[in-house]
């Protein structure tokens, strides 16, 4: 089995998010980046499938500026075999169709049996890149996988539906599947893994080699959400807070 895991580097949940001068994204200089948390689960699932199936490889694929090599190395340290870095210089691409076309042009010749992605990115939250790629490359697709079961030439996936419902779907390989967070416990890299990662191959594909002319959607501006809600902030010691909460329950929400 040849498995690709698409990994994105995104601002960490604790990171500062200063809006950039032209207000179309954030100023990256003050941002601390991490591997997109849902992608950790996709990577773990790929490693588990590879361990069960044997005799295959797991390839970390990431698009972005030079900094994304950090998350590629992180994946290699956890046990992936090699990496592909789709280099981006200048503006970060936010258009899902363009992103998918760029990935597809590079992934096509690799002929992966399986492409795994996290369910969505913590930054843009478009939640479609892996499925777009699957369609562009003529693969089977499924989203929100809670369990995977590779069988001869096909994969059975337990999909999460809404309100506590699930469904098993079986599809022929090759397939591109998005993984629901929480389905496994992502491993930590071992010291040996970290040392070994340095020697593994990371192929850099320069941006000129995966350009696409199409530009279908773009961000006009980003801004801090304005709440229309009047929020009463209750701070201070616990006793004062409790007194105020009881008062609210009694005379404002009137449930006591």
Residue numbers 187-246 binding another protein by CB under 8 A:
214-225, 227, 229-236, 238-239, 241-243, 245-246
Q: Which is nearer to another protein, 61 or 124 (CB)?
A: 124
Give the residue, chosen from 40, 141, 148, 184, that forms a contact with another protein under the rule CB under 8 A: 141
Q: Which of 17, 13, 11 lies closest to 225 in space, CA to CA?
A: 17
Q: Which is nearer to another protein, 111 or 214 (CB)?
A: 214
Sign of CA dihedral 59, 61, 67, 71: negative
CB 182 within 8 A of CB 33: no
Number of residues that bind another protein (CB under 8 A): 77
Give the residue, chosen from 28, 67, 108, 166, that forms a contact with another protein under the rule CB under 8 A: 166
**Closest approach of Cβ 41 to another protein, in Å?**
11
DSSP 180-201: -TTSS-PPPPPHHHHHHHTTS-
β-sheet bridge partners, residue 85: 62, 204
**Closest approach of Cβ 27 to another protein, in Å?**
12
Give the residue, chosen from 21, 165, 188, 192, that forms a contact with another protein under the rule CB under 8 A: 165
Residues 25-54 that bind another protein (CB under 8 A): 26
Task: List the beta strands (DSSP E) in 15-120.
Answer: 33-35, 57-64, 82-87, 114-118
Q: Which is nearer to another protein, 204 or 241 (CB)?
A: 241
Q: Which is nearer to another protein, 106 or 197 (CB)?
A: 106
CB 61 within 8 A of CB 4: yes
**Closest approach of Cβ 197 to another protein, in Å?**
28
Instruction: Judge if the upstream peptide bond of residue 174 is cis by omega within 30 degrees of 0.
Output: yes
Residues 55-84 that bind another protein (CB under 8 A): none
CB 110 within 8 A of CB 205: no
Give yes or no for residue 109 binding another protein (CB under 8 A): no
Instruction: Enter the tokens of residue 254.
Output: 């009137």
In angstroms, the CA 121 to CA 139 distance is: 21
**Closest approach of Cβ 104 to another protein, in Å?**
9
Look-up: residue for tokens 């909460």?
A: 245
Give the residue, chosen from 9, 40, 50, 128, that forms a contact with another protein under the rule CB under 8 A: 128
Residues 171-190 that bind another protein (CB under 8 A): 171-172, 180, 182
């Amino acid at each position: 089995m040849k498995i690709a895991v698409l990994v994105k580097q995104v601002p960490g949940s604790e990171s500062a998010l200063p809006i950039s001068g032209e207000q179309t994204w954030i100023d990256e200089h003050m941002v601390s980046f991490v591997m997109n948390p849902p992608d950790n689960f996709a990577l773990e699932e790929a490693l588990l499938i590879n361990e069960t199936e044997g005799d295959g490889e797991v390839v970390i694929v990431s698009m972005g500026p030079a900094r994304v090599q950090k998350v590629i190395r992180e994946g290699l340290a956890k046990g992936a075999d090699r990496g592909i870095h789709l280099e981006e210089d200048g503006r970060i691409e936010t258009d899902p169709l363009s992103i998918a076309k760029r990935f597809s042009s590079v992934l096509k010749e690799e002929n992966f049996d399986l492409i795994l992605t996290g369910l969505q990115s913590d930054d843009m939250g478009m939640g479609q890149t892996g499925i777009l790629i699957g369609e562009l490359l003529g693969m089977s697709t499924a989203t929100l996988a809670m369990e995977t079961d590779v069988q001869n030439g096909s994969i059975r996936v337990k999909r999460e539906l809404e309100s506590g419902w699930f469904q098993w779907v079986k599809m022929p390989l090759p397939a591109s599947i998005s993984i629901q967070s929480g389905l496994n416990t992502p491993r930590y890299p071992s010291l040996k893994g970290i040392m070994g990662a340095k020697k593994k191959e990371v192929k850099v594909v320069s941006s000129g080699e995966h350009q696409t002319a199409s530009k279908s959607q773009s961000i006009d501006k980003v801004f801090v959400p304005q709440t229309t809600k009047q929020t009463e902030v209750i701070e201070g010691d616990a006793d004062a807070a409790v007194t105020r909460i009881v008062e609210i329950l009694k005379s404002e929400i009137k449930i006591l």
